[in-house]
Amino acid sequence: MAEVSHVPVMLDEWVDALVLDPDGRYVDATFGRGGHSRAILERLSPQGRLLALDRDPEAVREGERLVRRDARFTIVHASFGQLDEVLAEHGWDKVSGVGFDLGLSSPQLDQAQRGFSFQQEGPLDMRMNPDEGQPLSAMLRTVSERELAKLIRDYGDERFAGRIARAILQAMREGRMKTTADLERVCFHAVPRSARYHGVHPATRTFQALRIWVNDEMEQLRQGLSAAIRHLRAAGRLVVIAFHSGEDRIVRDVIEQAVHPCTCPPQFPVCVCGRRPSMRWVQKKPLRPDEREVEINPRSRSARLRIAEAVS
């Protein structure tokens, strides 16, 4: 299978915000095909170091090629929810910056056998790490209609979530749900006729929601961001690109909690709870890609970039 490349999103904005100290230690929590990692390495001096993570073994294989060419770089096959353990294993306590570029890489989306795409027929899998957890097909065997509808609504913002969940489970029971093409067809026919040809394809939001569910992405993100904040040294940067509103809300909320941790009632004249901010916003209102980038790389259209800095 020919390797498909990945065009990094908001590359300059991301790396400008992240790398302020060329001699520092940095973490790229989502290596992918290494576009952002390579940009970090270009900014680092011979003393600087970069540790990258990815939960996808194919991404890690790609990263190992870069390890052989650049002694400042290390890659680990791990989920960013395990960032605490990974840093401890490498003897890194405080770091100068942690960057995230969430979601899927183009090779993941474009390889039919990974099961992420409704545009190509593949197995119902969707695991970013195929050696961990259960594929979508197994998870659909045990989920209730109510749970499935809720997760399609919550993770996909899908207004026809109830109809789609019912149709998916009915197709499962009748043995008509074997591949991503079956899932695409079921989603298409589950929505009202009037919604089939307007806006995005009727399977888009459901595929996104199921992928988030299979990979436990929201919990991973909460854990990864919290660990990153704990490990930033003073003035260290947290820089995150999110691609949908649920993800971006978690980024905003986890950082906001670190910026305003005080739990004292608003009428108290001074803080007595003792919780002090550990972060400050550098860019609270998310940056968006400019028109030129969206034109060249339509995948960047929904990107939102947030930047925060450690204050202690």
Ligand X SMILES: C[S@@+](CC[C@H](N)C(=O)[O-])C[C@H]1O[C@@H](n2cnc3c(N)ncnc32)[C@H](O)[C@@H]1O
Residues that bind ligand X (CB under 6 A): 6, 8, 30, 32-36, 53-56, 59, 79-81, 101, 103-105, 128, 220
Closer CB to ligand X, 169 or 255, in the complex: 255
Q: Please identify the residue of the shown chain whose CB is closest to the bound ligand X.
A: 32
For residues 71 and 63, the answer to whether their CB atoms sit within 8 Å is no
Q: What backbone phi and psi angles, to 5 degrees, belong to 93?
A: -105, -70
Closer CB to ligand X, 101 or 110, in the complex: 101
Closer CB to ligand X, 122 or 277, in the complex: 122
Closer CB to ligand X, 30 or 111, in the complex: 30
Q: Is 303 left (phi over 0), alpha (psi -120 to 50) or beta?
A: beta
Question: Which residues partner with 238 through β-bridges?
Answer: 98, 308
Smallest distance from ligand X to CB 220, Å: 4
Closer CB to ligand X, 8 or 289, in the complex: 8
- At residue 222's C-alpha, the angle toward residues 217 and 13, to 5°, is 85
Please write down the long-range contacts of 144-148, taking CB distance under 8 Å and 24 or more positions apart.
Answer: 145/169
Smallest distance from ligand X to CB 250, Å: 12
Closer CB to ligand X, 112 or 311, in the complex: 112
**First and final CA of the chain: distance in angstroms?**
48
* List of residues 6+ apart from 198 with CB closer than 8 A: none
Smallest distance from ligand X to CB 278, Å: 22
Closer CB to ligand X, 87 or 128, in the complex: 128
Give the C-alpha separation, 204 to 196, whole Å. Answer: 11
Amino acid at 61: R
Residue 162: both structure tokens together:
């109830």
Amino acid at 287: L
For residues 10 and 305, the answer to whether their CB atoms sit within 8 Å is yes
Smallest distance from ligand X to CB 35, Å: 3
Smallest distance from ligand X to CB 15, Å: 10
Smallest distance from ligand X to CB 105, Å: 4
For residues 229 and 279, the answer to whether their CB atoms sit within 8 Å is yes
Smallest distance from ligand X to CB 49, Å: 18
Give the C-alpha separation, 208 to 191, whole Å. Answer: 16
